[in-house]
Structure 1
Amino acid sequence: MNFQKTLKNELTCQSVGLHTGRKITMTIRPAASDEGILLVRRDKDRGHRIKVSLENVTDTTLATTIGTNGTAVSTVEHILSAFSGMGVDNAIIEVDGPEIPIMDGSALPFVEMVKKAGTCMQEKLREYLVVTKPVHVSEGESYAMFVPSASFEITYRIKFDHPSIGVQSYHLIVSDESYEQEICNSRTFGFLKDVEYLQARGLALGGSLKNAVILDETRIINKEGLRAPDEFVKHKILDAIGDLSLTGMPVMGHFVAYKSGHKLNSMLLKALFEQKESWTTATAVNIQEPYEALNALDAPSYKMLNAVHA
């Protein structure tokens, strides 16, 4: 587990883009050690590779968008989540359009692609980002935070004024197995009134019951219903795993969030990197319980942590 991984073979899929409605063809390919995840727009400059990193985030409205030099790829969070959840450190993603295909609205198709392509160990050690002190950000009643932990953990709580959602909480110790079994098949979701509003303005043009859980004022309108009773909060965790992979390395820390999203997730990563005393890097997973972790929590951190676990 301490060594980097890439894909053994390349694989291609095709689906519509959630926001453009365009048919997108995507190919995933192996990449060399230390290259990380790279994006290529085949419909633009095939030789221009966009490094997936926090500094290259150009937008967090409705999805996470990565770009440089005027070229961007949006809706990257699901495939990044799949790569992170399945331990893929280095890969090239080629698309012939402006976004990643939405597939069924979850990360399951991408996990299946990774398994079909196969993975292989590389010669370089994997570097981990180790959270050493609490960091938190908030916006209105929403917040996100990191606290030290000897593993990658996520505690997420959502609250929607809808009878099919209400309040949902979930805690996950992230591993290849837990990600595949508990998280990856959770679909994106939206409200019918919002989808209609967005589509009238040229957005969410690819959204349908085939790639999202849609709710009207009182119920879920997908005939097949949910894949799990807590699919909503699990999809938020799926998104968060994709967004947190923008660190460029696996995280050793506990991510705690209440009503967070792409924007707040990105804000938390920026705050973490700005507070250099709050993290370090290591190349081994047998890190001891970090630095009297929870004893170092400040009052706002305690309040947030207790609220999410309530």
Structure 2
Amino acid sequence: MKNDTIIKNNKNFNEVFLKNSKYQKTINSPIKIKGIGVHNNNQVSISISPLYDKKGRYFRNNTGEFDFEIQNKKAKIFYKNLFHTINKDYNTPLYSFHELESFFLISNKGFKKDLNHYKNEIYKRNFNIFYNYDYDVKSRIPDTKQYINAQIENVLSKPIHYVSLEDKKNEIKGIEHLLSAFEAMSIDNVMVELNGDNEVPILDGSSMVWINEILNVGVNINQKDFSGENTIKKRRRKIKFFSDKSFSLYHNESFISYHPSKFSKITVGLDYSDSAPLIGKQWYSYDIFNDNHYRWEISPSRMYIPTIQDLYESMDSGYYKAGVEDCVNLCMFDKWYNNDQIRFYDTESARHEILDLIGCLGLLSNNGNGGIPLGHIISYKPTLELNIRFVKILKEMIVI
């Protein structure tokens, strides 16, 4: 696509990301993936689609299984229509799905049905005509009343092992890893649909798979809505927000605090010296827009369980029905149950707490403006419940 694809390879990844972090973004094309919900132990299909600027992030739980062949079926229909307009021979060029759909949309408005003429003349001379139809096809937003907006107001239940979005029509469980990846990659306008179950698949217990899937399809800077042939497209800038006051929340030995700053920084501390000495004391600080990118420093960190007793108690309460293999780091006092899957030996647990907190902050996103505030957030022995309480208070104190 002619629109700016901001991330194509690893070269100067941070510089390219930071250069464009002030603009609203979406994905180039849909992402489709299957996985297992770690708590429900059900297979779920998930589809993530791009949206226009100022739309935000929407979720929906669909009934029934998602047909991953639907795009192929639609493509076959377009190719069937194509063969009515050009000769079917080995010299016929291959056209992309969206080129074909754009061509037939224009044809329905009276354009002469000559695909080669369209491709060679109209497409080259008036790219905006093609681009508008192409982008519109990929960025159509359905009736948002059928979806739930990923905002803090829609977190109605106290989170224990996962964060849920809820309304009268939808409940989506375990959104924090996916939202964390969206925030880190500045994916501000997307539509997420779950089919088969209402729990986001756990994948490898981190957000690394989501990051890789986003990179595979590419990231696009959102353009303002196209209206008219001569409209000049402009990038939609994000609105930065912060609080001008410090505040703290406490619960037993845990606390989380916010301090005004020109940077977006998170510091997390853990202390499992007695119950899980292998995890022990960990401190990790991460400046989201200045340190090495989240892709390498945060996204690979897996969720963890500090003791085998914690796992048994959680399973007795109905959690972790799918088990913990390949997705959870389980500490057994002075050794890991699955040592081979540890990625950051001394700091992985603290890094994952930052991953979760970024996902919770993503619930501050509004109209495609992202959820990461300016400020230094310090968290000690964090929990998802404390994170959500913190985000709700922070929203009330926001200054734009």
What TM-score comes out, normalization by structure 2 length? 0.66
Give, in angstroms, the shift of residue 202 of structure 1. 2.6
2:325 maps to which of 196, 209, 213: 209
1:103 maps to which of 183, 187, 203: 203
User: Counterpart amino acid of 2:52?
Assistant: A
Indicate the structure (1 or 2) with the bigger Cα radius of gyration: 2
The equivalent residue for 1:125 is 237
- SS of equivalent residue, structure 2 residue 300: coil
Separation in 1 of the partners of 2:39 and 2:330? 15
Alignment check: 8 A CA contact 2:152 2:364 kept: yes
- SS of equivalent residue, structure 1 residue 113: helix
Residue 233, structure 1, aligned to residue 347, structure 2: no
User: Counterpart amino acid of 1:210?
Assistant: D
The 3 A distance-change label for structure 1 pair 46 and 5 is: closer
Give, in angstroms, the shift of residue 158 of structure 1. 0.9
Give, in angstroms, the shift of residue 199 of structure 1. 2.3
Separation in 1 of the partners of 2:311 and 2:254? 23
Separation in 2 of the partners of 1:265 and 1:140? 14
CA-to-partner distance for each residue in 1:151-208, whole Å, 9 max, x for gaps?
A: 2100110111312111100011003952111000000011332223332343211232
RMSD between superposed Cα atoms in Å: 1.9
Residue 183, structure 1, aligned to residue 298, structure 2: yes
The equivalent residue for 1:53 is 151
Alignment check: 8 A CA contact 1:145 1:257 kept: yes
The equivalent residue for 2:268 is 156
Give, in angstroms, the shift of residue 225 of structure 1. 4.6
CA-to-partner distance for each residue in 1:204-252, whole Å, 9 max, x for gaps?
A: 1123221111122432110405101210100001000001111113311
Give, in angstroms, the shift of residue 18 of structure 1. 1.3
Separation in 2 of the partners of 1:223 and 1:186? 14
Give, in angstroms, the shift of residue 265 of structure 1. 1.0
Separation in 1 of the partners of 2:383 and 2:259? 18
Residue 21, structure 1, aligned to residue 41, structure 2: yes
Give, in angstroms, the shift of residue 129 of structure 1. 1.8
Give, in angstroms, the shift of residue 273 of structure 1. 2.8
- SS of equivalent residue, structure 1 residue 126: coil
Residue 66, structure 1, aligned to residue 165, structure 2: yes
Separation in 1 of the partners of 2:341 and 2:33? 26
The 3 A distance-change label for structure 1 pair 153 and 74 is: same
Give, in angstroms, the shift of residue 46 of structure 1. 10
Residue 251, structure 1, aligned to residue 373, structure 2: yes
1:43 maps to which of 63, 67, 76: 63
Unaligned 5+ runs, structure 2: 1-20, 65-142, 224-235, 366-370
What TM-score comes out, normalization by structure 1 length? 0.85
Residue 10, structure 1, aligned to residue 30, structure 2: yes
- SS of equivalent residue, structure 1 residue 146: strand
Separation in 2 of the partners of 1:270 and 1:144? 13
Alignment check: 8 A CA contact 1:144 1:268 kept: yes
User: Counterpart amino acid of 1:207?
Assistant: G
The equivalent residue for 2:392 is 270
Identify, as 1 or 2, the structure richer in strand. 1
Alignment check: 8 A CA contact 2:269 2:281 kept: yes
Alignment check: 8 A CA contact 2:276 2:332 kept: no
Separation in 2 of the partners of 1:9 and 1:19? 29
Give, in angstroms, the shift of residue 67 of structure 1. 1.2
User: Counterpart amino acid of 1:257?
Assistant: S
Give, in angstroms, the shift of residue 111 of structure 1. 0.2
CA-to-partner distance for each residue in 1:23-47, whole Å, 9 max, x for gaps?
A: 1111111012111111011128997
Separation in 2 of the partners of 1:199 and 1:103? 19
User: Counterpart amino acid of 2:304?
Assistant: F
Give, in angstroms, the shift of residue 93 of structure 1. 1.1
Alignment check: 8 A CA contact 2:162 2:384 kept: yes
The equivalent residue for 2:254 is 142
Separation in 1 of the partners of 2:391 and 2:342? 31
User: Counterpart amino acid of 2:340?
Assistant: E
Separation in 1 of the partners of 2:144 and 2:245? 41
Q: Percent identity?
A: 26
- SS of equivalent residue, structure 2 residue 311: helix
Give, in angstroms, the shift of residue 14 of structure 1. 1.1
Separation in 2 of the partners of 1:215 and 1:29? 37
